[in-house]
Amino acid sequence: MYAPLPFMGDGANCTHTMIIRRLIRRILLFMGMMAIILLAITIGGSFYMLDISLGDLSGKDLQVRRDQLLQESPDVVAWADSLKDIGMMRDTFMTTADGRRLHANYFFANDSTARTMVVIHGFTCNIYSSLKIARMFRDSLGLNLFLPDLHGHGESDGDNVQFGWKDADDVLEWMPLVTRLFCEETDARIAVQGVSMGAATAMNLSGKEKMPQIKCYIEDCGYTSVWDELSGELRNRYDLPPFPLMHVSDLICRWRNGWSFKEAAPLEMVGRCNKPMMFIHGDADTFVPSWMVYPLYEAKQGIKTLWVTHGTDHAHSFRDYPKEYENRVREFLESSGV
């Protein structure tokens, strides 16, 4: 026979309950501490991500870009310097409605013309990053040039990067001057070309402007949206999923800059454009993945043309195919009335 179990009174039950409660409190405390630590890491990581993607202004150092170009193509620097010496290349500044001082360079063509190309640089770049292609536009295609420094780049005010979203508003603010610089305002025939972030700026501008002087756009390796671009970089460079860093970074960007990653979407703006647009992208581009050009091209209604360059990585279509680039752009400009 089994011996009867000893009687467990109320005191034992109470002790057992207290142990369970202490254990639950410790688990909840641990979970709360872990949640706070994870939140702190996420917020810190989000600020770090923004500082890398929107706060890196190394391109503001003009001398660095000049020295780089001087090493790669000393003839291009000499070309620009010679034009500046004879007054064919000049500087201009503008103060925006919110008090920022913006800078641009402009070049007169060899012969008097109303045909003008606005050339928009990319991420952390400035005029020296655009001079190679600018020389082609001016000397081979006979165009005047207008090269703005975007917010926080070159000699323009700003302590962060706007990824082409508010930059489009700045370029639009430049346009009355552009239409008057080289000819009578009513005669101006303007094309807008941008590379990478400059391409995003051009596409964003295309959905906002209603200026008859702007005849067409050329976007070279632009992205569909800031969200798509940054989340892709987060996966490819750091092997991290978009959640939660992208979502927290997006909230911080909205608080800091007044716009969100998904709002800054050239894909949507291209759909509003009623001017001809040329799309260029390298099929080996992994920084702004080449797949992005196809939804951009599909979103554009009306006159459009697509050129995907074989074996070309990011922003190097002109470098890899200089003569074909020139010929294709020439044909596109002529068909667009520029």
Model confidence, pTM:
0.87
- Report the pLDDT averaged over residues 90-100: 94
Cβ atoms of residues 276 and 302 within 8 Å: yes
Q: pLDDT class for 198, splitting at 50, 70, 90?
A: very high
Least trusted range by pLDDT, from 24-28, 104-108, 175-179, 264-268: 24-28
Residue range 239-244: average pLDDT? 85
For the stretch 99-140, pLDDT in tens is 999 999 999 999 999 999 999 999 989 999 999 999 999 999
pLDDT at 55: 62
- Write down the pLDDT at residue 297: 98
Cα torsion for 238, 242, 248, 250, to the nearest 10°?
Answer: 100
Side-chain half-sphere exposure of 51, counting CA atoms within 13 A: 6
Question: Of 25-39, 56-70, 98-112, where does mean pLDDT reach its minimum?
Answer: 25-39
Q: Residue for token digits 């057992």?
A: 16
